[in-house]
Protein backbone atom coordinates (compact mmCIF):
# COMPACT_ATOMS: atom_id res chain seq x y z
CA UNK A 1 0.00 0.00 0.00
CA UNK A 2 2.84 2.37 0.72
CA UNK A 3 1.10 4.18 3.59
CA UNK A 4 1.87 4.29 7.30
CA UNK A 5 -0.54 3.85 10.21
CA UNK A 6 -1.57 7.01 12.04
CA UNK A 7 -3.60 6.51 15.18
CA UNK A 8 -5.41 9.70 16.16
CA UNK A 9 -7.27 9.79 19.48
CA UNK A 10 -10.26 12.10 19.20
CA UNK A 11 -9.81 14.85 21.77
CA UNK A 12 -13.59 15.36 21.77
CA UNK A 13 -13.63 12.39 24.16
CA UNK A 14 -10.96 13.88 26.44
CA UNK A 15 -11.35 15.93 29.62
CA UNK A 16 -11.46 19.43 28.11
CA UNK A 17 -10.58 20.99 31.47
CA UNK A 18 -7.21 19.23 31.21
CA UNK A 19 -6.63 19.28 27.46
CA UNK A 20 -2.83 19.70 27.57
CA UNK A 21 -2.29 16.82 29.99
CA UNK A 22 -4.78 14.65 28.08
CA UNK A 23 -2.87 15.32 24.86
CA UNK A 24 0.44 14.40 26.51
CA UNK A 25 -1.13 11.26 27.97
CA UNK A 26 -2.31 10.11 24.52
CA UNK A 27 1.09 10.79 22.93
CA UNK A 28 2.83 8.92 25.76
CA UNK A 29 0.46 6.01 25.04
CA UNK A 30 1.69 5.92 21.43
CA UNK A 31 -0.71 8.18 19.48
CA UNK A 32 0.63 9.54 16.19
CA UNK A 33 -1.81 12.42 15.76
CA UNK A 34 -4.34 14.27 17.90
CA UNK A 35 -7.74 14.57 16.20
CA UNK A 36 -9.49 17.89 16.82
CA UNK A 37 -13.20 18.13 15.99
CA UNK A 38 -14.23 21.67 15.08
CA UNK A 39 -18.01 22.03 14.85
CA UNK A 40 -19.94 25.23 14.26
CA UNK A 41 -23.41 24.29 15.53
CA UNK A 42 -24.73 24.82 11.99
CA UNK A 43 -23.24 22.22 9.61
CA UNK A 44 -23.73 19.81 12.52
CA UNK A 45 -25.90 20.50 15.58
CA UNK A 46 -23.06 20.30 18.10
CA UNK A 47 -20.74 23.19 18.97
CA UNK A 48 -17.18 22.39 20.06
CA UNK A 49 -13.87 24.24 19.72
CA UNK A 50 -12.17 26.72 17.42
CA UNK A 51 -8.85 28.43 16.79
CA UNK A 52 -8.39 29.76 20.39
CA UNK A 53 -8.34 26.20 21.77
CA UNK A 54 -5.92 25.02 19.05
CA UNK A 55 -3.70 28.00 19.90
CA UNK A 56 -3.75 27.12 23.61
CA UNK A 57 -2.99 23.45 23.00
CA UNK A 58 -0.19 24.25 20.52
CA UNK A 59 1.72 25.97 23.34
CA UNK A 60 1.92 22.59 25.10
CA UNK A 61 2.63 20.15 22.28
CA UNK A 62 4.49 19.74 18.99
CA UNK A 63 2.09 16.95 17.95
CA UNK A 64 0.32 16.80 14.59
CA UNK A 65 -3.06 18.44 15.20
CA UNK A 66 -5.46 16.75 12.78
CA UNK A 67 -8.34 19.25 12.49
CA UNK A 68 -11.68 18.05 11.13
CA UNK A 69 -13.88 20.99 10.16
CA UNK A 70 -17.58 20.23 10.46
CA UNK A 71 -18.52 23.76 9.48
CA UNK A 72 -20.66 25.47 6.85
CA UNK A 73 -17.99 27.89 5.60
CA UNK A 74 -14.60 26.14 5.92
CA UNK A 75 -12.75 28.84 3.98
CA UNK A 76 -13.36 31.27 6.87
CA UNK A 77 -11.34 29.02 9.18
CA UNK A 78 -8.21 28.58 7.08
CA UNK A 79 -6.37 31.73 8.10
CA UNK A 80 -7.20 31.55 11.85
CA UNK A 81 -6.24 27.86 12.09
CA UNK A 82 -3.08 28.28 10.03
CA UNK A 83 -2.03 31.15 12.26
CA UNK A 84 -2.38 29.18 15.51
CA UNK A 85 -0.55 26.04 14.39
CA UNK A 86 -3.09 23.52 13.07
CA UNK A 87 -1.32 20.74 11.14
CA UNK A 88 -4.08 19.20 9.04
CA UNK A 89 -7.23 20.90 7.76
CA UNK A 90 -9.96 18.49 6.64
CA UNK A 91 -13.10 20.10 5.25
CA UNK A 92 -16.37 18.51 4.17
CA UNK A 93 -17.05 18.02 0.46
CA UNK A 94 -20.72 18.82 1.15
CA UNK A 95 -19.73 22.31 2.36
CA UNK A 96 -17.27 23.17 -0.40
CA UNK A 97 -18.83 22.29 -3.74
CA UNK A 98 -18.37 25.81 -5.09
CA UNK A 99 -14.86 26.64 -3.88
CA UNK A 100 -12.86 23.50 -3.11
CA UNK A 101 -10.01 24.42 -5.48
CA UNK A 102 -9.51 27.78 -3.79
CA UNK A 103 -9.86 26.11 -0.41
CA UNK A 104 -7.12 23.53 -1.09
CA UNK A 105 -4.81 26.26 -2.35
CA UNK A 106 -5.40 28.41 0.74
CA UNK A 107 -4.87 25.50 3.14
CA UNK A 108 -1.53 24.62 1.53
CA UNK A 109 -0.45 28.28 1.47
CA UNK A 110 -0.89 28.37 5.26
CA UNK A 111 1.36 25.33 5.70
CA UNK A 112 -1.38 22.84 6.52
CA UNK A 113 -2.16 19.44 4.97
CA UNK A 114 -5.52 19.52 3.13
CA UNK A 115 -8.00 16.71 3.50
CA UNK A 116 -11.60 16.18 2.45
CA UNK A 117 -14.31 14.42 4.47
CA UNK A 118 -17.64 12.97 3.44
CA UNK A 119 -20.75 12.09 5.39
CA UNK A 120 -22.20 8.55 5.25
CA UNK A 121 -24.89 9.60 2.77
CA UNK A 122 -22.47 11.18 0.29
CA UNK A 123 -21.29 9.02 -2.65
CA UNK A 124 -17.54 8.39 -2.72
CA UNK A 125 -17.39 9.61 -6.33
CA UNK A 126 -17.87 13.17 -5.06
CA UNK A 127 -14.32 13.30 -3.66
CA UNK A 128 -12.53 11.86 -6.70
CA UNK A 129 -12.11 15.25 -8.45
CA UNK A 130 -10.40 16.61 -5.31
CA UNK A 131 -7.84 13.78 -5.36
CA UNK A 132 -7.37 13.71 -9.14
CA UNK A 133 -6.86 17.43 -9.69
CA UNK A 134 -3.54 19.21 -10.24
CA UNK A 135 -3.50 20.57 -6.68
CA UNK A 136 -5.06 17.67 -4.74
CA UNK A 137 -6.08 16.98 -1.17
CA UNK A 138 -3.65 14.69 0.66
CA UNK A 139 -6.17 12.73 2.71
CA UNK A 140 -9.77 11.53 2.46
CA UNK A 141 -11.77 11.07 5.65
CA UNK A 142 -14.62 8.57 5.37
CA UNK A 143 -17.11 9.20 8.17
CA UNK A 144 -18.27 5.88 9.63
CA UNK A 145 -20.98 7.61 11.71
CA UNK A 146 -23.06 10.73 11.12
CA UNK A 147 -20.79 13.64 12.09
CA UNK A 148 -21.56 15.79 15.11
CA UNK A 149 -21.42 13.59 18.19
CA UNK A 150 -19.04 11.05 19.72
CA UNK A 151 -19.88 7.56 20.93
CA UNK A 152 -21.96 6.44 17.91
CA UNK A 153 -22.08 2.95 16.42
CA UNK A 154 -19.69 2.10 13.55
CA UNK A 155 -21.34 1.74 10.11
CA UNK A 156 -19.65 -1.25 8.39
CA UNK A 157 -21.31 -0.46 5.05
CA UNK A 158 -19.00 2.57 4.77
CA UNK A 159 -16.09 0.18 4.16
CA UNK A 160 -17.15 -0.08 0.51
CA UNK A 161 -16.08 3.57 0.17
CA UNK A 162 -12.72 2.84 1.79
CA UNK A 163 -12.15 -0.14 -0.50
CA UNK A 164 -13.01 1.93 -3.58
CA UNK A 165 -10.57 4.64 -2.52
CA UNK A 166 -7.73 2.23 -1.75
CA UNK A 167 -8.18 0.42 -5.06
CA UNK A 168 -7.94 3.74 -6.90
CA UNK A 169 -5.26 5.45 -4.79
CA UNK A 170 -2.56 3.12 -3.42
CA UNK A 171 -0.59 5.77 -1.54
CA UNK A 172 -3.38 8.08 -0.33
CA UNK A 173 -3.92 8.63 3.38
CA UNK A 174 -7.42 7.28 4.07
CA UNK A 175 -8.91 8.16 7.44
CA UNK A 176 -11.94 6.67 9.17
CA UNK A 177 -13.79 8.31 12.04
CA UNK A 178 -16.67 7.03 14.13
CA UNK A 179 -17.13 3.92 16.24
CA UNK A 180 -13.55 2.70 15.78
CA UNK A 181 -12.13 0.42 18.44
CA UNK A 182 -10.80 -3.11 19.00
CA UNK A 183 -13.99 -4.73 17.65
CA UNK A 184 -14.12 -2.70 14.41
CA UNK A 185 -10.49 -1.88 13.57
CA UNK A 186 -9.92 -5.03 11.49
CA UNK A 187 -12.86 -4.17 9.21
CA UNK A 188 -11.44 -0.70 8.60
CA UNK A 189 -7.82 -1.79 8.21
CA UNK A 190 -8.64 -4.66 5.84
CA UNK A 191 -10.66 -2.25 3.67
CA UNK A 192 -7.57 -0.05 3.35
CA UNK A 193 -7.85 2.67 6.01
CA UNK A 194 -4.51 3.72 7.53
CA UNK A 195 -5.48 6.80 9.59
CA UNK A 196 -7.68 5.77 12.50
CA UNK A 197 -9.64 8.21 14.65
CA UNK A 198 -10.80 6.73 17.94
CA UNK A 199 -12.49 8.53 20.81
CA UNK A 200 -14.34 6.69 23.55
CA UNK A 201 -12.67 3.36 22.72
CA UNK A 202 -9.31 4.89 23.66
CA UNK A 203 -10.22 7.40 26.37
CA UNK A 204 -12.64 4.98 28.03
CA UNK A 205 -10.27 2.01 27.98
CA UNK A 206 -8.57 0.72 31.14
CA UNK A 207 -5.36 0.57 29.09
CA UNK A 208 -5.45 3.13 26.26
CA UNK A 209 -1.90 2.23 25.16
CA UNK A 210 -2.99 -1.35 24.46
CA UNK A 211 -5.90 -0.14 22.31
CA UNK A 212 -3.65 2.21 20.32
CA UNK A 213 -1.08 -0.57 19.85
CA UNK A 214 -3.78 -3.03 18.74
CA UNK A 215 -5.11 -0.61 16.13
CA UNK A 216 -1.64 0.15 14.77
CA UNK A 217 -0.86 -3.57 14.53
CA UNK A 218 -4.07 -4.19 12.60
CA UNK A 219 -3.21 -1.49 10.03
CA UNK A 220 0.35 -2.79 9.64
CA UNK A 221 -0.75 -6.41 9.22
CA UNK A 222 -3.30 -5.47 6.56
CA UNK A 223 -0.79 -3.28 4.76
CA UNK A 224 1.54 -6.26 4.49
CA UNK A 225 -1.22 -8.29 2.83
CA UNK A 226 -1.77 -5.65 0.13
In eight-state DSSP terms, residue 11 is G
Q: How many domains does the chain have?
A: 1
Out of 32, 37, 40, 66, which one is annotated catalytic? 37
27: in domain: yes
Active site residue 66: no
pLDDT in the model for residue 226: 65
Per-residue pLDDT, averaged over 175-201, amounts to 97
221 vs 2, more confident: 221
Residue 107 lies in a domain: yes
Residues 20-59 as b/e (b if ≥16 CB within 10 A, e otherwise) read eebbebbbebbbbbbbbbbbbeebbeeebbbbebbeebee
Q: What is the pLDDT of residue 151?
A: 77
Q: Is 173 annotated as a binding residue?
A: no
pLDDT of residue 15: 97
Within 10 angstroms of residue 111's Cβ, the number of other Cβ atoms is 11
Q: Does the annotation place 214 within a ligand binding site?
A: no
Q: What pLDDT was estimated at residue 66?
A: 99
pLDDT of residue 57: 98
Global pTM value: 0.97
Indicate if 37 belongs to the active site: yes
89 is in an annotated binding site: no
Q: Is the pLDDT of residue 224 over 70?
A: yes
pLDDT of the residue at 225: 77
For residue 162, being part of any structural domain is answered with yes
Residue 68 labelled as part of a binding site = yes
Percent of the chain with pLDDT over 90: 95
Each residue's pLDDT tens digit, 134-157 = 999 999 999 999 998 777 899 999
Residues 4-27 have a mean pLDDT of 97
Where in the sequence is the domain holding 45, given as residue range(s)?
6-224
Does a structural domain hold residue 39? yes
| Catalytic option among 32, 40, 173, 177 | 177
138: domain CATH number? Answer: 3.20.20.70
Whether 1 maps to a domain, the answer reads no
The verdict on whether residue 14 carries a ligand-binding annotation is no
Q: Is residue 95 part of a domain?
A: yes
| Residue-by-residue DSSP string for 205-225 | SS-HHHHHHHHHHHHHHHHHH
Q: Given a cut of 90, is residue 74 above it in pLDDT?
A: yes
- What span, in angstroms and rounded, lies between the C-alpha atoms of 29 and 26? 5
C-beta of residue 112 within 8 angstroms of C-beta of residue 82: yes
Burial 156-187 (b: 16+ CB within 10 A, else e): eebbebbbbbbeebeebbbbbbbbbbeebbeb
Confidence (pLDDT) at 148: 85
| Inside any domain, residue 177 | yes
Look at residue 53 and tell me if it is in a domain.
yes
Amino acid sequence: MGVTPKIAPSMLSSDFANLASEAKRMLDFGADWLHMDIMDGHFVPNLTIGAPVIESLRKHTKAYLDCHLMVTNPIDYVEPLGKVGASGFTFHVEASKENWQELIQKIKSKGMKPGVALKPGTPIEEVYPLVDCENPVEMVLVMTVEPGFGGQKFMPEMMDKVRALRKKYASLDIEVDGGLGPSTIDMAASAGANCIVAGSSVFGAPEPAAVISHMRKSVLENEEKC
